[in-house]
Amino acid sequence: MAIDPVPQVGISRVLGLLEVLDDAGGRYDVFRLARDINYELGEILQVIKAAEMLELVVTPGADVVLTGTGSALLRGRVKARKKLLKVQMRKLPLFRTVLDALQRTENGRADEDAFLEIFALHLPAENGEALLKTVVDWGRYTELLGYSPDDRELYLDQVD
């Protein structure tokens, strides 16, 4: 299974993008969007890529367009948003790999070094520490994963 890295952006920035798109009627020119929200083009492209991987937006031509899934996420309350994002994240090979590794452990926990090794093996060109930080950010927001900084461990958060 090929594993693609997720862009190293916080999930709150993805949600912010969706709000901006919704306020603009669901569609925005990427270049105008970057200018209007004072983001560098490369920065907004990373946020868009993250949203696109989660199937919350599509990018026909130079536009970014809110999908039905993205609209549904915006209409939901926090718990519903987390649940929808959890479903979308489980579709991503990177998160499936992390979840599979945790499920194979006796207690659903694993040291962060185990994941840094997985990332180094499958994504050698990526900054493993930054990627882990993003995985933890997204996983904690959705309550899919937990992280103990004291123990430096990731763990399965809630079973649903």
pLDDT digits (tens, 9 = 90+) for 106-143: 999 999 999 999 999 999 999 999 999 999 999 999 99
Which numeric CATH code is attached to 11-75? Answer: 1.10.10.10
Give the pLDDT of residue 127. 96
Q: Check residue 22 and give its pLDDT.
A: 98
Task: Kindly provide the b/e burial profile for residues 24-42, where b requires at least 16 CB atoms within 10 angstroms of the residue's own CB.
Answer: eebebebeebbeeeebeee
**57-58: strand order across its sheet:** 27-29, 63-66, 57-58
Sorted by sequence, the CB contacts under 8 Å of residue 159 that are 6+ apart come out as none
The crossing angle, in degrees rounded to 10, of helices 78-90 and 128-142 is 140
pTM: 0.93
Could you read off the pLDDT of 49-75 as tens digits, one per residue?
Answer: 999 999 999 999 999 999 999 999 999
